[in-house]
Structure 1
Amino acid sequence: MQASEPAHTETVLGVRFFMGDVHAAVDRMLRGGLLVVPAAPALKDLQTQPAYRQALLEADLVIADSAFMVLVWNHLVARRCGGRKLLRLSGLEYLRELLQRPQVRSEGSTFWIMAGERSAARNLAWLAEQGIVVPDTHVYNAPMYGAMDGTDLEDPVLLERLEQLRPQHVVVTIGGGTQERLGLYLRRRLSFVPGIHCIGAAIAFLSGDQAAIPVWADKMYLGWLLRTIESPSRYGPRYWAARKLLQLMVRYGPNLPPAIPNGADRTGKKLPV
Protein backbone atom coordinates (compact mmCIF):
# COMPACT_ATOMS: atom_id res chain seq x y z
CA MET A 1 0.00 0.00 0.00
CA GLN A 2 1.14 3.53 -0.67
CA ALA A 3 2.53 5.60 2.19
CA SER A 4 -0.46 7.90 2.10
CA GLU A 5 -3.53 8.17 -0.09
CA PRO A 6 -4.54 11.52 -1.61
CA ALA A 7 -8.28 12.18 -1.51
CA HIS A 8 -8.76 11.95 -5.28
CA THR A 9 -7.08 9.09 -7.11
CA GLU A 10 -7.78 6.57 -9.85
CA THR A 11 -6.15 3.15 -9.72
CA VAL A 12 -4.38 1.84 -12.81
CA LEU A 13 -2.36 -1.39 -12.62
CA GLY A 14 -2.57 -1.20 -8.84
CA VAL A 15 -1.00 2.28 -8.74
CA ARG A 16 -3.06 5.19 -7.41
CA PHE A 17 -2.75 8.15 -9.77
CA PHE A 18 -3.55 11.64 -8.51
CA MET A 19 -6.70 13.17 -10.01
CA GLY A 20 -6.29 16.81 -8.94
CA ASP A 21 -4.78 19.79 -10.73
CA VAL A 22 -1.18 20.92 -10.68
CA HIS A 23 -1.72 23.44 -7.87
CA ALA A 24 -3.18 20.77 -5.59
CA ALA A 25 -0.34 18.38 -6.44
CA VAL A 26 2.35 20.91 -5.53
CA ASP A 27 0.47 21.97 -2.40
CA ARG A 28 0.47 18.34 -1.26
CA MET A 29 4.16 17.85 -1.93
CA LEU A 30 5.20 21.00 -0.10
CA ARG A 31 4.31 19.02 3.04
CA GLY A 32 6.93 16.40 2.20
CA GLY A 33 6.88 12.87 0.82
CA LEU A 34 7.75 11.08 -2.40
CA LEU A 35 6.39 12.10 -5.79
CA VAL A 36 6.93 9.90 -8.85
CA VAL A 37 6.10 10.50 -12.50
CA PRO A 38 6.10 7.06 -14.18
CA ALA A 39 6.73 7.02 -17.92
CA ALA A 40 5.40 4.30 -20.21
CA PRO A 41 8.84 2.82 -21.11
CA ALA A 42 9.46 2.07 -17.42
CA LEU A 43 5.85 1.34 -16.43
CA LYS A 44 5.72 -1.57 -18.87
CA ASP A 45 8.23 -3.37 -16.62
CA LEU A 46 6.01 -3.16 -13.55
CA GLN A 47 5.86 -6.96 -13.27
CA THR A 48 9.57 -7.70 -13.57
CA GLN A 49 11.21 -4.85 -11.62
CA PRO A 50 10.32 -5.24 -7.93
CA ALA A 51 12.21 -2.19 -6.64
CA TYR A 52 10.59 0.08 -9.24
CA ARG A 53 7.20 -1.51 -8.61
CA GLN A 54 7.49 -0.91 -4.86
CA ALA A 55 8.46 2.73 -5.40
CA LEU A 56 5.23 3.37 -7.30
CA LEU A 57 3.18 1.61 -4.65
CA GLU A 58 4.77 3.42 -1.70
CA ALA A 59 4.92 6.90 -3.25
CA ASP A 60 2.92 9.62 -1.54
CA LEU A 61 1.83 11.07 -4.88
CA VAL A 62 1.85 9.58 -8.38
CA ILE A 63 0.97 11.81 -11.32
CA ALA A 64 -0.21 10.59 -14.73
CA ASP A 65 2.46 12.02 -17.01
CA SER A 66 2.44 9.28 -19.67
CA ALA A 67 0.30 10.39 -22.62
CA PHE A 68 0.24 6.81 -23.92
CA MET A 69 -1.02 5.42 -20.62
CA VAL A 70 -3.69 8.11 -20.30
CA LEU A 71 -4.96 7.56 -23.86
CA VAL A 72 -5.10 3.77 -23.46
CA TRP A 73 -6.88 4.02 -20.13
CA ASN A 74 -9.39 6.68 -21.15
CA HIS A 75 -10.33 5.18 -24.53
CA LEU A 76 -9.88 1.43 -24.12
CA VAL A 77 -9.99 0.44 -20.47
CA ALA A 78 -11.81 2.85 -18.14
CA ARG A 79 -15.37 2.26 -19.35
CA ARG A 80 -14.94 -1.50 -19.50
CA CYS A 81 -13.78 -1.74 -15.88
CA GLY A 82 -15.97 1.03 -14.45
CA GLY A 83 -13.10 3.45 -13.91
CA ARG A 84 -12.96 7.21 -14.31
CA LYS A 85 -11.00 8.96 -17.00
CA LEU A 86 -7.51 9.96 -15.94
CA LEU A 87 -6.51 13.60 -15.79
CA ARG A 88 -3.06 13.94 -17.34
CA LEU A 89 -0.58 16.01 -15.35
CA SER A 90 2.85 16.13 -16.94
CA GLY A 91 6.10 16.31 -15.06
CA LEU A 92 6.93 19.44 -17.03
CA GLU A 93 3.74 21.18 -15.92
CA TYR A 94 4.39 20.07 -12.35
CA LEU A 95 7.95 21.40 -12.37
CA ARG A 96 6.89 24.77 -13.77
CA GLU A 97 4.44 25.20 -10.90
CA LEU A 98 6.86 23.85 -8.29
CA LEU A 99 9.50 26.39 -9.23
CA GLN A 100 7.07 29.24 -8.69
CA ARG A 101 6.79 28.44 -4.99
CA PRO A 102 8.97 30.48 -2.58
CA GLN A 103 9.51 27.39 -0.40
CA VAL A 104 11.44 25.85 -3.29
CA ARG A 105 13.07 28.97 -4.71
CA SER A 106 14.75 30.24 -1.54
CA GLU A 107 18.51 29.66 -1.44
CA GLY A 108 19.50 26.48 0.36
CA SER A 109 15.96 25.12 0.66
CA THR A 110 16.23 22.70 -2.27
CA PHE A 111 18.80 20.02 -3.05
CA TRP A 112 19.25 19.04 -6.73
CA ILE A 113 20.30 15.57 -7.89
CA MET A 114 21.60 15.88 -11.44
CA ALA A 115 22.29 13.30 -14.14
CA GLY A 116 25.91 14.46 -14.60
CA GLU A 117 28.23 17.45 -14.84
CA ARG A 118 27.07 18.51 -18.31
CA SER A 119 23.40 18.37 -17.37
CA ALA A 120 24.08 20.09 -14.06
CA ALA A 121 25.85 23.00 -15.73
CA ARG A 122 22.99 23.65 -18.12
CA ASN A 123 20.27 23.15 -15.54
CA LEU A 124 21.95 25.39 -12.96
CA ALA A 125 22.51 28.13 -15.54
CA TRP A 126 18.84 28.02 -16.45
CA LEU A 127 17.79 28.08 -12.79
CA ALA A 128 19.99 31.13 -12.22
CA GLU A 129 18.23 32.86 -15.12
CA GLN A 130 14.97 32.22 -13.28
CA GLY A 131 16.37 33.83 -10.14
CA ILE A 132 16.94 30.52 -8.34
CA VAL A 133 20.40 30.38 -6.76
CA VAL A 134 21.62 26.88 -5.89
CA PRO A 135 24.71 26.64 -3.63
CA ASP A 136 27.39 24.16 -4.68
CA THR A 137 26.68 22.20 -1.52
CA HIS A 138 23.14 21.58 -2.75
CA VAL A 139 24.05 19.94 -6.06
CA TYR A 140 24.89 16.25 -6.42
CA ASN A 141 25.92 14.55 -9.66
CA ALA A 142 24.45 11.07 -9.43
CA PRO A 143 26.75 8.12 -10.17
CA MET A 144 25.78 5.39 -12.60
CA TYR A 145 23.35 3.40 -10.47
CA GLY A 146 23.01 0.62 -12.99
CA ALA A 147 20.11 -0.63 -15.07
CA MET A 148 16.72 -1.69 -13.77
CA ASP A 149 17.78 -5.16 -12.71
CA GLY A 150 15.31 -5.67 -9.90
CA THR A 151 17.77 -4.84 -7.14
CA ASP A 152 17.43 -2.15 -4.51
CA LEU A 153 19.41 1.02 -5.03
CA GLU A 154 21.66 2.55 -2.37
CA ASP A 155 23.80 5.69 -2.16
CA PRO A 156 25.24 6.24 1.34
CA VAL A 157 27.26 9.28 0.20
CA LEU A 158 24.11 11.07 -0.93
CA LEU A 159 22.26 9.98 2.19
CA GLU A 160 24.95 11.42 4.45
CA ARG A 161 24.99 14.73 2.54
CA LEU A 162 21.23 15.10 2.87
CA GLU A 163 21.30 14.29 6.57
CA GLN A 164 23.85 17.05 7.08
CA LEU A 165 22.01 19.69 5.04
CA ARG A 166 18.40 18.64 5.81
CA PRO A 167 16.85 20.52 2.85
CA GLN A 168 13.11 21.05 2.64
CA HIS A 169 13.03 19.65 -0.89
CA VAL A 170 15.02 17.21 -3.03
CA VAL A 171 14.55 17.37 -6.80
CA VAL A 172 15.70 14.27 -8.70
CA THR A 173 16.45 14.80 -12.40
CA ILE A 174 17.82 11.40 -13.45
CA GLY A 175 16.28 8.76 -15.71
CA GLY A 176 12.95 7.03 -15.24
CA GLY A 177 13.10 3.61 -13.63
CA THR A 178 16.14 4.69 -11.62
CA GLN A 179 14.91 7.91 -10.04
CA GLU A 180 11.90 6.18 -8.50
CA ARG A 181 14.12 3.60 -6.82
CA LEU A 182 16.41 6.35 -5.55
CA GLY A 183 13.43 8.33 -4.29
CA LEU A 184 12.11 5.33 -2.37
CA TYR A 185 15.55 4.70 -0.86
CA LEU A 186 15.68 8.28 0.41
CA ARG A 187 12.06 8.20 1.61
CA ARG A 188 12.76 5.10 3.67
CA ARG A 189 16.23 5.95 4.99
CA LEU A 190 16.22 9.69 5.75
CA SER A 191 15.52 10.65 9.35
CA PHE A 192 13.36 13.56 8.15
CA VAL A 193 10.72 13.86 5.40
CA PRO A 194 11.53 16.40 2.69
CA GLY A 195 9.56 16.72 -0.49
CA ILE A 196 11.27 14.29 -2.88
CA HIS A 197 10.26 15.27 -6.42
CA CYS A 198 11.29 12.70 -9.05
CA ILE A 199 10.70 14.84 -12.15
CA GLY A 200 13.31 13.24 -14.41
CA ALA A 201 14.05 15.07 -17.66
CA ALA A 202 11.47 17.82 -17.14
CA ILE A 203 14.08 20.46 -16.29
CA ALA A 204 16.17 19.39 -19.30
CA PHE A 205 13.31 20.42 -21.61
CA LEU A 206 13.53 23.93 -20.14
CA SER A 207 17.29 24.29 -19.82
CA GLY A 208 18.19 23.09 -23.31
CA ASP A 209 19.88 19.92 -22.08
CA GLN A 210 17.31 17.97 -24.11
CA ALA A 211 14.76 18.84 -26.80
CA ALA A 212 12.74 21.92 -25.94
CA ILE A 213 9.09 21.07 -25.31
CA PRO A 214 6.84 24.14 -25.45
CA VAL A 215 3.64 24.30 -23.42
CA TRP A 216 1.43 23.67 -26.45
CA ALA A 217 3.33 20.48 -27.39
CA ASP A 218 3.16 19.21 -23.81
CA LYS A 219 -0.60 19.79 -23.68
CA MET A 220 -1.07 18.04 -27.04
CA TYR A 221 0.83 14.94 -25.82
CA LEU A 222 3.68 15.51 -28.30
CA GLY A 223 6.68 15.58 -25.98
CA TRP A 224 7.66 12.03 -26.91
CA LEU A 225 7.64 12.97 -30.62
CA LEU A 226 9.90 15.98 -30.19
CA ARG A 227 12.37 13.92 -28.18
CA THR A 228 12.36 11.19 -30.83
CA ILE A 229 12.90 13.67 -33.66
CA GLU A 230 15.90 15.16 -31.87
CA SER A 231 17.47 11.80 -31.03
CA PRO A 232 15.76 8.97 -32.94
CA SER A 233 18.35 6.31 -32.17
CA ARG A 234 18.05 6.98 -28.43
CA TYR A 235 14.33 7.47 -27.97
CA GLY A 236 12.80 5.61 -30.92
CA PRO A 237 13.45 2.11 -29.55
CA ARG A 238 12.51 3.23 -26.04
CA TYR A 239 9.07 4.48 -27.04
CA TRP A 240 8.48 1.56 -29.40
CA ALA A 241 9.11 -0.87 -26.53
CA ALA A 242 6.50 1.01 -24.47
CA ARG A 243 3.76 -0.53 -26.65
CA LYS A 244 3.90 -3.54 -24.31
CA LEU A 245 2.08 -1.40 -21.75
CA LEU A 246 -1.07 -1.61 -23.88
CA GLN A 247 -1.42 -5.36 -23.38
CA LEU A 248 -0.70 -5.05 -19.68
CA MET A 249 -3.39 -2.40 -19.16
CA VAL A 250 -6.04 -4.18 -21.22
CA ARG A 251 -5.44 -7.41 -19.32
CA TYR A 252 -5.25 -6.09 -15.75
CA GLY A 253 -7.02 -2.72 -15.82
CA PRO A 254 -7.05 -1.32 -12.27
CA ASN A 255 -5.49 -4.42 -10.74
CA LEU A 256 -1.85 -4.84 -9.79
CA PRO A 257 -0.31 -7.43 -12.16
CA PRO A 258 1.39 -10.38 -10.48
CA ALA A 259 5.12 -10.04 -10.05
CA ILE A 260 7.27 -12.05 -12.45
CA PRO A 261 10.97 -12.71 -11.86
CA ASN A 262 13.08 -10.70 -14.29
CA GLY A 263 13.82 -12.77 -17.37
CA ALA A 264 10.88 -15.17 -16.89
CA ASP A 265 7.73 -15.54 -18.95
CA ARG A 266 4.21 -15.43 -17.53
CA THR A 267 4.40 -19.07 -16.46
CA GLY A 268 7.50 -18.34 -14.38
CA LYS A 269 9.80 -20.28 -16.73
CA LYS A 270 13.18 -18.78 -17.50
CA LEU A 271 13.36 -17.26 -20.96
CA PRO A 272 16.26 -18.10 -23.28
CA VAL A 273 19.04 -15.51 -23.39
Structure 2
Amino acid sequence: MLSNLLDQGERECVVHEYTTILGIDFFHGTAAQAVDRMRSGGLLVVPAAPALKDLGSNAAYRESLVNADLAITDSAFMVLIWNWLQRAAITRLSGLEYLRELILQPDTREPGNTVWVMASPVSAKHNLTWLSRQGIDVPANCVYLAPMYGKEIKEVEDTDLLQMLEDLRPQHVIITVGGGTQELLGLYLKRNLSYLPSIHCIGAAIAFLSGDQIFIPVWADKMYLGWLFRSISEPRQYIPRYWDARKLFALMKRYRNRLPLADELPEL
Protein backbone atom coordinates (compact mmCIF):
# COMPACT_ATOMS: atom_id res chain seq x y z
CA MET A 1 0.00 0.00 0.00
CA LEU A 2 2.83 2.38 0.85
CA SER A 3 4.31 1.71 -2.59
CA ASN A 4 0.96 2.52 -4.22
CA LEU A 5 0.70 5.76 -2.26
CA LEU A 6 4.21 6.75 -3.28
CA ASP A 7 3.46 5.97 -6.93
CA GLN A 8 0.28 8.05 -6.72
CA GLY A 9 2.19 10.92 -5.14
CA GLU A 10 4.80 10.81 -7.90
CA ARG A 11 2.06 10.88 -10.57
CA GLU A 12 0.42 13.88 -8.89
CA CYS A 13 3.74 15.73 -8.81
CA VAL A 14 4.19 15.13 -12.53
CA VAL A 15 0.66 16.38 -13.24
CA HIS A 16 1.25 19.51 -11.17
CA GLU A 17 4.30 20.40 -13.26
CA TYR A 18 2.05 20.89 -16.30
CA THR A 19 -0.76 23.37 -16.87
CA THR A 20 -2.90 23.47 -20.02
CA ILE A 21 -3.09 27.03 -21.34
CA LEU A 22 -4.70 27.76 -24.72
CA GLY A 23 -4.69 24.02 -25.42
CA ILE A 24 -0.93 23.68 -24.86
CA ASP A 25 0.46 21.67 -21.94
CA PHE A 26 3.02 24.03 -20.44
CA PHE A 27 5.75 22.65 -18.20
CA HIS A 28 6.64 24.84 -15.22
CA GLY A 29 8.99 22.69 -13.20
CA THR A 30 12.69 23.45 -12.81
CA ALA A 31 15.19 23.95 -15.62
CA ALA A 32 17.03 20.79 -14.56
CA GLN A 33 13.79 18.79 -14.76
CA ALA A 34 13.04 20.19 -18.23
CA VAL A 35 16.52 19.33 -19.49
CA ASP A 36 16.16 15.83 -18.06
CA ARG A 37 12.83 15.32 -19.88
CA MET A 38 14.52 16.19 -23.17
CA ARG A 39 17.32 13.64 -22.86
CA SER A 40 15.45 10.99 -24.83
CA GLY A 41 14.84 13.36 -27.75
CA GLY A 42 11.93 15.45 -28.93
CA LEU A 43 10.97 19.03 -29.64
CA LEU A 44 11.16 21.75 -26.99
CA VAL A 45 9.48 25.10 -27.62
CA VAL A 46 9.69 28.37 -25.69
CA PRO A 47 6.61 30.36 -26.79
CA ALA A 48 6.69 34.14 -26.26
CA ALA A 49 3.68 36.43 -25.95
CA PRO A 50 4.14 38.22 -29.32
CA ALA A 51 3.82 34.86 -31.11
CA LEU A 52 1.28 33.29 -28.72
CA LYS A 53 -1.24 36.03 -29.45
CA ASP A 54 -1.51 34.62 -33.00
CA LEU A 55 -2.10 31.05 -31.85
CA GLY A 56 -5.65 31.01 -33.17
CA SER A 57 -4.98 32.60 -36.55
CA ASN A 58 -1.58 31.07 -37.37
CA ALA A 59 -2.29 27.41 -38.14
CA ALA A 60 1.34 26.44 -38.81
CA TYR A 61 2.52 27.94 -35.52
CA ARG A 62 -0.37 26.33 -33.64
CA GLU A 63 0.48 22.94 -35.12
CA SER A 64 4.11 23.26 -34.07
CA LEU A 65 3.16 23.94 -30.44
CA VAL A 66 0.53 21.21 -30.30
CA ASN A 67 3.06 18.68 -31.64
CA ALA A 68 5.95 19.75 -29.40
CA ASP A 69 7.14 17.32 -26.74
CA LEU A 70 7.78 20.03 -24.16
CA ALA A 71 6.62 23.65 -23.97
CA ILE A 72 7.99 25.79 -21.14
CA THR A 73 6.47 28.87 -19.51
CA ASP A 74 8.90 31.45 -20.89
CA SER A 75 6.29 34.18 -21.37
CA ALA A 76 6.09 36.28 -18.22
CA PHE A 77 2.98 38.00 -19.60
CA MET A 78 1.24 34.66 -20.12
CA VAL A 79 2.13 33.49 -16.60
CA LEU A 80 0.88 36.73 -15.02
CA ILE A 81 -2.38 36.62 -16.98
CA TRP A 82 -2.98 32.97 -16.12
CA ASN A 83 -2.32 33.43 -12.41
CA TRP A 84 -4.67 36.42 -12.34
CA LEU A 85 -7.47 34.75 -14.32
CA GLN A 86 -7.31 31.40 -12.56
CA ARG A 87 -6.17 32.54 -9.13
CA ALA A 88 -3.34 30.08 -9.66
CA ALA A 89 0.35 30.20 -8.87
CA ILE A 90 2.22 28.60 -11.73
CA THR A 91 5.84 29.61 -12.01
CA ARG A 92 7.80 30.86 -14.99
CA LEU A 93 10.60 28.84 -16.56
CA SER A 94 12.41 31.13 -18.96
CA GLY A 95 14.28 30.10 -22.07
CA LEU A 96 17.33 31.88 -20.65
CA GLU A 97 17.21 29.78 -17.48
CA TYR A 98 16.71 26.62 -19.54
CA LEU A 99 19.69 27.42 -21.77
CA ARG A 100 21.96 28.11 -18.79
CA GLU A 101 21.14 24.63 -17.48
CA LEU A 102 21.37 22.96 -20.89
CA ILE A 103 24.93 24.10 -21.64
CA LEU A 104 26.14 22.74 -18.32
CA GLN A 105 25.38 19.19 -19.46
CA PRO A 106 28.44 17.14 -20.52
CA ASP A 107 26.64 15.69 -23.57
CA THR A 108 25.80 19.20 -24.85
CA ARG A 109 29.39 20.37 -24.40
CA GLU A 110 30.94 17.39 -26.18
CA PRO A 111 32.37 18.54 -29.55
CA GLY A 112 30.31 17.21 -32.45
CA ASN A 113 27.36 16.18 -30.29
CA THR A 114 25.43 19.45 -30.75
CA VAL A 115 24.54 21.35 -33.91
CA TRP A 116 23.82 25.06 -33.49
CA VAL A 117 21.43 26.72 -35.96
CA MET A 118 22.35 30.42 -36.00
CA ALA A 119 20.22 33.31 -37.20
CA SER A 120 23.00 35.15 -39.09
CA PRO A 121 26.78 35.30 -39.54
CA VAL A 122 27.00 38.16 -37.02
CA SER A 123 24.95 36.25 -34.46
CA ALA A 124 27.05 33.15 -35.03
CA LYS A 125 30.27 35.08 -34.40
CA HIS A 126 28.99 36.54 -31.10
CA ASN A 127 27.45 33.27 -29.93
CA LEU A 128 30.42 31.07 -30.79
CA THR A 129 32.84 33.47 -29.09
CA TRP A 130 30.73 33.39 -25.94
CA LEU A 131 30.40 29.58 -26.04
CA SER A 132 34.17 29.30 -26.36
CA ARG A 133 34.57 31.42 -23.23
CA GLN A 134 32.31 28.92 -21.45
CA GLY A 135 34.65 26.12 -22.48
CA ILE A 136 32.39 24.90 -25.31
CA ASP A 137 34.23 24.48 -28.59
CA VAL A 138 31.84 24.07 -31.52
CA PRO A 139 33.36 22.53 -34.67
CA ALA A 140 32.74 24.52 -37.85
CA ASN A 141 30.76 21.65 -39.36
CA CYS A 142 28.33 21.83 -36.40
CA VAL A 143 27.26 25.40 -37.16
CA TYR A 144 24.42 26.05 -39.60
CA LEU A 145 23.50 29.54 -40.82
CA ALA A 146 19.74 29.65 -41.25
CA PRO A 147 18.29 31.13 -44.44
CA MET A 148 15.25 33.40 -44.41
CA TYR A 149 12.33 31.05 -43.83
CA GLY A 150 8.78 31.66 -44.99
CA LYS A 151 5.68 31.36 -42.84
CA GLU A 152 5.46 27.65 -43.56
CA ILE A 153 8.57 25.52 -43.72
CA LYS A 154 8.23 22.77 -46.32
CA GLU A 155 10.62 19.95 -47.02
CA VAL A 156 12.05 21.60 -50.13
CA GLU A 157 12.98 24.72 -48.19
CA ASP A 158 15.75 23.31 -46.00
CA THR A 159 16.99 19.99 -47.24
CA ASP A 160 20.53 21.29 -46.61
CA LEU A 161 19.97 21.36 -42.85
CA LEU A 162 18.16 18.04 -42.98
CA GLN A 163 21.04 16.38 -44.81
CA MET A 164 23.60 17.94 -42.49
CA LEU A 165 21.85 16.47 -39.46
CA GLU A 166 21.45 13.08 -41.12
CA ASP A 167 25.19 13.01 -41.83
CA LEU A 168 26.30 14.18 -38.38
CA ARG A 169 23.47 12.63 -36.31
CA PRO A 170 24.05 14.89 -33.28
CA GLN A 171 22.24 14.23 -30.03
CA HIS A 172 21.25 17.90 -29.72
CA VAL A 173 20.07 20.54 -32.20
CA ILE A 174 19.87 24.04 -30.70
CA ILE A 175 17.89 26.53 -32.81
CA THR A 176 18.55 30.22 -32.15
CA VAL A 177 16.35 31.87 -34.81
CA GLY A 178 13.32 34.04 -34.05
CA GLY A 179 10.18 32.98 -32.23
CA GLY A 180 7.28 32.03 -34.47
CA THR A 181 9.73 30.60 -37.01
CA GLN A 182 11.98 28.37 -34.93
CA GLU A 183 9.02 26.28 -33.77
CA LEU A 184 8.04 25.55 -37.37
CA LEU A 185 11.61 24.59 -38.18
CA GLY A 186 11.78 22.36 -35.13
CA LEU A 187 8.62 20.50 -36.13
CA TYR A 188 9.90 20.13 -39.69
CA LEU A 189 13.06 18.48 -38.37
CA LYS A 190 11.14 16.25 -35.98
CA ARG A 191 8.90 15.00 -38.78
CA ASN A 192 11.56 14.56 -41.46
CA LEU A 193 14.68 13.27 -39.72
CA SER A 194 15.21 9.52 -39.66
CA TYR A 195 16.02 9.70 -35.95
CA LEU A 196 14.84 11.95 -33.11
CA PRO A 197 17.46 14.22 -31.53
CA SER A 198 16.72 16.69 -28.76
CA ILE A 199 15.60 19.81 -30.65
CA HIS A 200 15.80 22.90 -28.46
CA CYS A 201 14.10 26.04 -29.83
CA ILE A 202 15.71 28.59 -27.51
CA GLY A 203 15.51 31.60 -29.83
CA ALA A 204 17.23 34.75 -28.59
CA ALA A 205 18.19 33.32 -25.19
CA ILE A 206 21.85 32.89 -26.11
CA ALA A 207 21.92 36.38 -27.62
CA PHE A 208 21.18 37.85 -24.17
CA LEU A 209 24.36 36.19 -22.89
CA SER A 210 26.68 36.55 -25.87
CA GLY A 211 26.21 40.27 -26.53
CA ASP A 212 24.40 39.70 -29.80
CA GLN A 213 21.48 41.47 -28.11
CA ILE A 214 21.22 43.44 -24.88
CA PHE A 215 22.62 41.51 -21.91
CA ILE A 216 19.90 40.37 -19.50
CA PRO A 217 21.22 39.56 -16.00
CA VAL A 218 19.81 36.68 -13.96
CA TRP A 219 18.00 39.00 -11.54
CA ALA A 220 16.20 40.81 -14.36
CA ASP A 221 15.13 37.53 -15.95
CA LYS A 222 13.77 36.28 -12.61
CA MET A 223 11.86 39.55 -12.11
CA TYR A 224 10.18 39.26 -15.56
CA LEU A 225 12.03 42.33 -16.86
CA GLY A 226 13.63 40.93 -20.00
CA TRP A 227 11.06 42.70 -22.20
CA LEU A 228 12.00 46.04 -20.59
CA PHE A 229 15.71 45.58 -21.27
CA ARG A 230 14.99 44.76 -24.92
CA SER A 231 12.59 47.69 -25.29
CA ILE A 232 15.12 50.15 -23.89
CA SER A 233 17.89 48.78 -26.10
CA GLU A 234 15.87 48.96 -29.35
CA PRO A 235 12.61 50.83 -28.71
CA ARG A 236 11.50 51.09 -32.34
CA GLN A 237 11.69 47.35 -32.81
CA TYR A 238 10.46 46.00 -29.49
CA ILE A 239 7.98 48.50 -28.06
CA PRO A 240 5.47 47.97 -30.93
CA ARG A 241 6.03 44.22 -30.70
CA TYR A 242 5.30 44.03 -26.98
CA TRP A 243 2.42 46.48 -27.24
CA ASP A 244 0.83 44.24 -29.86
CA ALA A 245 1.26 41.28 -27.48
CA ARG A 246 -1.47 42.81 -25.27
CA LYS A 247 -3.94 40.88 -27.48
CA LEU A 248 -2.87 37.74 -25.65
CA PHE A 249 -4.90 38.86 -22.64
CA ALA A 250 -8.21 38.82 -24.54
CA LEU A 251 -7.33 35.48 -26.13
CA MET A 252 -6.56 33.87 -22.78
CA LYS A 253 -9.60 35.39 -21.09
CA ARG A 254 -11.86 33.89 -23.76
CA TYR A 255 -10.25 30.46 -24.20
CA ARG A 256 -8.34 29.82 -20.96
CA ASN A 257 -7.29 26.16 -21.30
CA ARG A 258 -8.92 25.59 -24.72
CA LEU A 259 -7.07 25.67 -28.02
CA PRO A 260 -8.25 28.68 -30.06
CA LEU A 261 -9.12 27.98 -33.68
CA ALA A 262 -9.36 30.54 -36.46
CA ASP A 263 -13.05 29.97 -37.25
CA GLU A 264 -13.98 30.67 -33.61
CA LEU A 265 -11.97 33.85 -33.14
CA PRO A 266 -13.64 37.23 -32.55
CA GLU A 267 -11.97 40.48 -33.55
CA LEU A 268 -9.39 41.32 -30.86
Q: Determine if the TM-score, normalized by the shorter chain, exceeds 0.5.
A: yes
CA separation of 1:260/1:204 partners in 2, compared to 1, >3 Å: closer, same or farther? Answer: farther
Residue identity in the other structure for 1:97: E
Please name the residue that 1:228 is paired with. 231
2:178 aligned to 163, 171, 175, which one? 175
- Structure 1 residue 31, shift from structure 2 partner: 1.6
- Structure 1 residue 257, shift from structure 2 partner: 1.0
- Structure 1, residues 83-106: CA drift from partner, whole Å, max 9, x if none? x43220000000000000001001
Task: Tell me the distance in 2 between the aligned counterparts of 1:159 and 1:11.
Answer: 32
- Structure 1 residue 10, shift from structure 2 partner: 0.4
Task: Tell me the distance in 2 between the aligned counterparts of 1:43 and 1:153.
Answer: 22
Please name the residue that 2:50 is paired with. 41
Percent of aligned positions that are identical: 62
Task: Tell me the distance in 2 between the aligned counterparts of 1:50 and 1:142.
Answer: 22
Task: Tell me the distance in 2 between the aligned counterparts of 1:260 and 1:114.
Answer: 35
Task: Give the paired residue count.
Answer: 251
1:153/1:182 contact within 8 Å kept: no
Runs of at least 5 residues in structure 1 that lack an aligned partner in the other structure: 1-5, 268-273
Please name the residue that 1:201 is paired with. 204
TM-score by length of 1: 0.89
From the two aligned structures, give the one with the greater helix fraction. Answer: 2
2:57/2:261 contact within 8 Å kept: no
Task: Tell me the distance in 2 between the aligned counterparts of 1:153 and 1:41.
Answer: 23
Please name the residue that 2:248 is paired with. 245
Runs of at least 5 residues in structure 2 that lack an aligned partner in the other structure: 1-13
Please name the residue that 2:159 is paired with. 156
Residue identity in the other structure for 2:31: V
| 1:32 to 2:41 alignment | yes
TM-score by length of 2: 0.91
1:145/1:153 contact within 8 Å kept: no
SS in 1 for 2:213: coil
- Structure 1, residues 134-156: CA drift from partner, whole Å, max 9, x if none? 0110000000003x4xx344411
1:51/1:181 contact within 8 Å kept: yes
| 1:187 to 2:190 alignment | yes
- Structure 1 residue 30, shift from structure 2 partner: 1.7
Task: Tell me the distance in 1 between the aligned counterparts of 2:194 and 2:109.
Answer: 23
SS in 2 for 1:201: helix
Please name the residue that 1:78 is paired with. 86
2:45/2:65 contact within 8 Å kept: yes
Greater than 2 Å deviation, 4+ residue runs:
151-154
